[in-house]
Amino acid sequence: MSLQNINDPEAVKALLDSLRNTQAWTAAVGPSQAVQAQREVEPTTQPRRESGVPSSLSGPGPSLPSHGPGNNGAGPSSSSTTTFSVITPSSISGNSSSHCAPGPSVADLLSQLRAPQSLERPTSSTSTSNAFPEGNRRSPLPLDHTQNTPPVPPPQSASTHVAKPLLQDLRAISFQQALPHISQLMEDPHVVESLTKMKEEQDKLEKRLWEEREGIRRSYEEKVKVAKTKANMIGVGLSKHEAQALSDSFQKELRKFDAEQVLPAWDGLVRGQQARLEALKVPTMFVTTEAGDVEKQRRVVHVLEGILSTSDPAQ
């Protein structure tokens, strides 16, 4: 029997018939099972005995032993347990001399039964290997996107982005545009308190400088009075030359005082007020010496002073 006919039912029946004729089959199955199989098929095989066919070949053949639990058979099973139908004499060679000839061994018959499995398994493995080549088999990567994702910077507060542009806008706005901002700003008690304190500091500085200047003027007046007294004592009036000399000395001393005392103190006060007012977000305020900017700031300061003067002193 060739391997090509292994899927033919008639060929399988013939193979099983040949298998039952061997002594190895009888030894493997056992005498009791062989007798029992002969008794079961006896009613149906009477006519076949007359035709010269052994009754052991005409009964229903036992299923091939499988590798299941409780299996005492020696032969391996196919890929699934197969139950064969009754073997008819037509599937057996009509030559009665075949019973006398030595049949193939059990090992040869079982090797033929194993052949289809050995042929089918490489086919499935080959198709699997073709569908998924070994070179392309790779374990799936974990879905972790955090390794290649760049770190997201923390969101910055809106004040960081708006603070500098806002200060730039407050510096550049016109006096008319600054008025609504000033009105809203003066509703803040902290701003009002800070402005009041700055005004008091300015008043103290002005008073101190004024008193020092007045001291210079009083000194000049004393000098003029002494010169006139001396002139009257000798009966001569104060000459024009002496009066001009006293006046020139007085003016020189005033200019020196202004240059060395008043202007530095006033410039320091203005720069300090510009910086503090800018910190309070007062429009147009920043440290500068430009004439146009200083004039605009002076007008804003006058508005602030007017609001402070009309506000309740208790605030």
User: Residue 25 phi/psi, 5° resolution?
Assistant: -65, -45
Give me 99's structure tokens: 């019973």
> Which pLDDT belongs to residue 229?
87
pLDDT given at position 231: 83
**Each residue's pLDDT tens digit, 80-99:** 444 444 444 444 444 444 44
Sequence letter at residue 225 = K
Per-residue pLDDT at 100: 44
Encode the chain in three state secondary structure: CCHHHCCCHHHHHHHHHHHHCCHHHHHHHCHHHHHHHHHHCCHHHHHHHHCCCCHHHCCCCCCCCCCCCCCCCCCCCCCCCCCCCCCCHHHCCCCHHHHCCCCCCHHHHHHHHHHHHHHHHHHHHHHHHHHCCHHHCCCCCCCCCCCCCCCCCCCCCHHHHHHHHHHHHHHHCCHHHHHHHHHHHCCCHHHHHHHHHHHHHHHHHHHHHHHHHHHHHHHHHHHHHHHHHHHHHCCCCCCHHHHHHHHHHHHHHHHHHHHHHHHHHHHHHHHHHHHHHHHCCCCCCCCCCCHHHHHHHHHHHHHHHHHHHHCCCCC
Q: Which among 106, 88, 95 has a CA at the least distance from the CA of 28?
A: 106
- C-alpha span between 308 and 303 (Å, rounded): 9
Say what the pLDDT of residue 33 is.
58
Every domain of the chain and the residues it spans: 3-122, 162-310
Closest CA to 175 of 66, 35, 282, 52: 282
Residue pair 92/17 in contact by the 8 Å Cβ criterion: yes
CB atoms within 10 A of CB 300: 19
Q: What is the pLDDT of residue 94?
A: 42
pLDDT beneath 50: ranges in the chain: 40-101, 117-120, 122-136, 139-146, 158-163, 314-315
Residue type, 315: Q
What is the full DSSP assignment across 177-232? HHHHHHHHHTT-HHHHHHHHHHHHHHHHHHHHHHHHHHHHHHHHHHHHHHHHHHHH
Q: Does this model's pTM top 0.75?
A: no
pLDDT digits (tens, 9 = 90+) for 206-248: 999 999 999 999 999 998 888 888 888 887 878 888 888 989 9
pLDDT, residue 111, reads: 67
| CB contact at 8 A, 15 and 93 | no
Distance of CA 231 to the CA centre of its chain: 98
Query: What kind and span of H or E run contains 299?
Result: helix 291-310
